[in-house]
Chains A and B, each alone.
Chain A
């Protein structure tokens, strides 16, 4: 490893210095990557915002001709995709990248190079999406890409593919980011920082990462099957061949709804950092806030079908998903009350950041209440696909999440740039956004109640829609002006903003215990000891340290809560220091990372297997599994693959004892068995194709090749990993020092074998029943 012992003036490469572009392209510093995320996310946000203004200009009056119908569909689609995947989520990742390692006292992310890969995948996938305009194939299918609209008879060539493939590339990067954030928090914390003491933004970033890691595989499976339908003539969503477009909706929303919380939870985390600091109080009921996040994560996986009440799922399913959806209001409400209780009796400082946080609470509550409305099945039947839904969604995402992003920007940008933002411009920004936002989207509630459908490019001059549409457009313009003020504020701050210093807000957490901006290694001086949730505060004010007393909340109405609490603590004396301990998940970083990744892969295969089981025997023509599958042959190649799990275990054991030759021999045996399995699968495919059993033949053919093909692809990836390890071993470099990395590879191989057991049982053994 390179040793960082030289002096750095700033982690930011200067644009005018020679080689600055190469410096940006080669960085693995989490702070620089965080800044790159923030800048790129802001650029995409402005792009998505410009598209929103075009949409609003088109809808301002009836019969407007700002956009042609096809262009309108493309802009609506790309606006949604941009804002969700290329603007808001990366802005939150930007903060997570920059702040989370600092908050937990780490020097970098757990996997710095993987972190860089994630960013570049994000940037390139975004560019690929916009390249579709130049290729004449910009997506026009909505951000959700419902089948059968996305199938060939209904959508021109390339449009679905650009949407699908750019999201797929982006998802690879996002999963890697999620694995990285989770691994960082699990493995890189300093002594004393138990999981219960992890700062709330870091905690919620982990929960959001896990939601994404576990939420995105159903969509990946849905998108993969859509791609197969379009390119190989598959029938997964082809109703005439026994497929079902509703399967797509289920899989998409199994991801789509948790995705809302992937965005919301880090926003909650920002609010949970900002409000306590500007209230001069610890977060009220922090343990409940943390637990409520876990509750939200769990529930978010069980509510997807509330997006599908109008498809006719039946009363039982409607009731279940309606009930579960309303249940989410409980953990969300806990957070709201905790934030209010934190402010209650606090010594409030109404900075721009705090005001945005307050604006977030009010707006998000309104979005939450309308969320309960759309969770009510009978009401949803009336307002589904109307502007009421558009309003609800934007109240949670724009008024909620983006207000939190702005709160985070005013809070953390001084740490990032070393300069304070102008508070007066901040106030102008806030009021323009608040008034503009409510004018834009409150009006859309009314439009929805008046029956205006979403996704229409124009409307007739009656029905009372014009006035509300015009108001909505004026509001959008106000927000546009607000964004210009925000940009001006940032640029002015960079040029001549007041120097922030390391701790401008007298804050609580460790990112403020270093310079602004921090040095490359983050912390030059020793870290303060971590004995509570607010280690930097405890170090600055040892007489007020949280760990001295569990109950430190001042009484409501106390004008000087800090001094009052201090007096109480001094009377009671010091509490014993907690003893730090390490857990199993802090053992080896590679195993942790691969382990988390495998959970995502497992859900991908579970999704495919569920669809296979659902479609079992539903093909409307051609042969089924009983007619074409050779069970004894498949059993033989299964034995070969399962034997490779044994051989790789032996290789790992030998490597652990630093028996390099023995490890290499067992590794070569594993490769031989894995290759034999793949060759065997290839022979089976050749025979089936010769018998005219292909993905295009019928629904069984599509699902058989999809499920076994993706498994084979994973075996191939594992085999490449094993070959690389063997190459390293042949060069004499596979030593006991690399045992952790090898065990991570072995873990992946065991997983691939385990998946085959499930696939073999469902695809082959089921035919014996």
Chain B
């Protein structure tokens, strides 16, 4: 087997998003909203608050990029 020819040059430094907790928090918020609809509305309220917090955090990260 010969060595692979490599002609496509990738960027010298690859830009990837930094780790973030907001997607996890937003998913938890959405799930709590849904859970509250079948159990207690307190869950939905907490979920909505968590969702809003996650959305704000997520947007903040986007703006800092």
Contact = CB atoms under 8 A, between A and B. Distances in A.
Contacts of A108: 16-17
Contacts of B6: 525-528, 539
B38 to A, nearest CB: 4
B15 A527 contact: no
Interface in B13-30: 13-24, 26-28, 30
A527 B18 contact: no
B34 A166 contact: yes
Interface string B18-50: 111111101110110011011100000000000
Contact of B5 (A123, A166, A528): A528
Interface string A20-57: 00110111110000000000000000000000000000
B19 A120 contact: no
B8 A26 contact: no
Nearest to B39: A135
Interface string B39-65: 100000000000000000011000101
A528 B31 contact: no
A521 interface: yes
Nearest to A526: B6
Interface in A521-546: 521, 523, 525-530, 536, 539-542
B16 A112 contact: yes
A120 B24 contact: yes
Given A523-B10, A525-B6, A26 B30 contact: no
B42 to A, nearest CB: 14
A116 B21 CA distance: 9
Contact of A26 (B21, B26, B38): B21
A528 B59 CA distance: 37
B30 A169 contact: yes
A615 B56 CA distance: 42
A127 B35 CA distance: 11
A121 B27 contact: yes
A287 interface: no
B10 A113 contact: no
Interface string A709-740: 00000000000000010001000010000000
Interface stretch (A2-10, A343-351, A432-440, A659-667): A2-10
Interface stretch (A90-98, A157-165, A390-398, A747-755): A157-165
B24 A3 contact: no
Contacts of B5: 528-529, 539, 542
A582 B35 CA distance: 45
Interface residues of B, number: 36
Contacts of B58: 113
A3 B30 contact: no
A22 B59 CA distance: 20
Nearest to A107: B14
Contacts of A168: 34
Contacts of B15: 1-4
Interface in A94-153: 105, 107-108, 112-114, 116-117, 119-121, 123-125, 127-128, 131, 135, 137
Nearest to A2: B18
Contacts of A540: 1-4
A165 B34 contact: yes
Contacts of A530: 8
A409 interface: no
A97 to B, nearest CB: 14
B31 A25 contact: no
Interface in A178-200: 190-192
Contacts of B28: 120, 124
Contacts of A22: 21
A105 B16 CA distance: 15
A169 B20 contact: no
Given A107-B14, A526-B7, A526-B10, A113 B27 contact: no
B21 A25 contact: yes
A136 to B, nearest CB: 11
A515 to B, nearest CB: 13
Contact of B14 (A113, A521, A541): A521
Given A28-B20, A528-B8, A161 B38 contact: yes
B24 A25 contact: yes
Contact of B17 (A2, A23, A127, A523): A2
Interface string A453-483: 0000000000000000000000000000000
A5 B15 CA distance: 9
A172 B29 CA distance: 13
B32 to A, nearest CB: 9
Nearest to A530: B8
Given A521-B14, A724-B59, A28 B37 contact: no
Nearest to A123: B27
Contact of B1 (A28, A506, A513, A728): A506
Interface in A609-637: none
A37 B62 CA distance: 25
Given A113-B58, A529-B8, A540-B1, A173 B17 contact: no
A217 interface: no
A167 to B, nearest CB: 10
Contacts of B18: 1-2, 28
A520 interface: yes
A27 B37 contact: no
A680 to B, nearest CB: 25
Contacts of B59: 724, 728
Interface string A499-517: 0000000100000010000
B49 to A, nearest CB: 15
A26 B17 CA distance: 11
A74 to B, nearest CB: 16
Contact of A161 (B4, B24, B37): B37
A165 B35 contact: yes
A520 B26 contact: no
A114 B61 CA distance: 13
A165 B34 CA distance: 6
Nearest to A741: B62
Contacts of B39: 135, 158
B19 A27 contact: yes
A168 to B, nearest CB: 7
A674 to B, nearest CB: 19
Interface in A66-83: none
Nearest to A727: B59
B21 to A, nearest CB: 5
Contact of A114 (B2, B23, B30): B23
Given A25-B21, A520-B16, A131 B35 contact: yes
Interface of A: 1-5, 22-23, 25-29, 105, 107-108, 112-114, 116-117, 119-121, 123-125, 127-128, 131, 135, 137, 158, 161-162, 165-166, 168-169, 172-173, 190-192, 231, 506, 513, 520-521, 523, 525-530, 536, 539-542, 724, 728, 733
17 contacts: A3-B14, A4-B13, A25-B21, A28-B18, A107-B14, A113-B22, A128-B35, A135-B39, A161-B37, A161-B38, A165-B34, A165-B37, A192-B8, A513-B4, A521-B16, A527-B10, A528-B4
Interface of B: 1-10, 13-24, 26-28, 30-31, 34-35, 37-39, 58-59, 63, 65
Given A27-B19, A113-B58, A165-B34, 11 more contacts: A1-B65, A2-B18, A29-B16, A107-B10, A113-B23, A117-B26, A119-B27, A128-B34, A137-B38, A172-B30, A724-B59
Please list the 7 inter-chain residue pairs (A to B) with the smallest Cβ-Cβ separation, ordered nearest first.
A120-B27, A2-B18, A539-B4, A116-B23, A26-B19, A124-B31, A117-B23
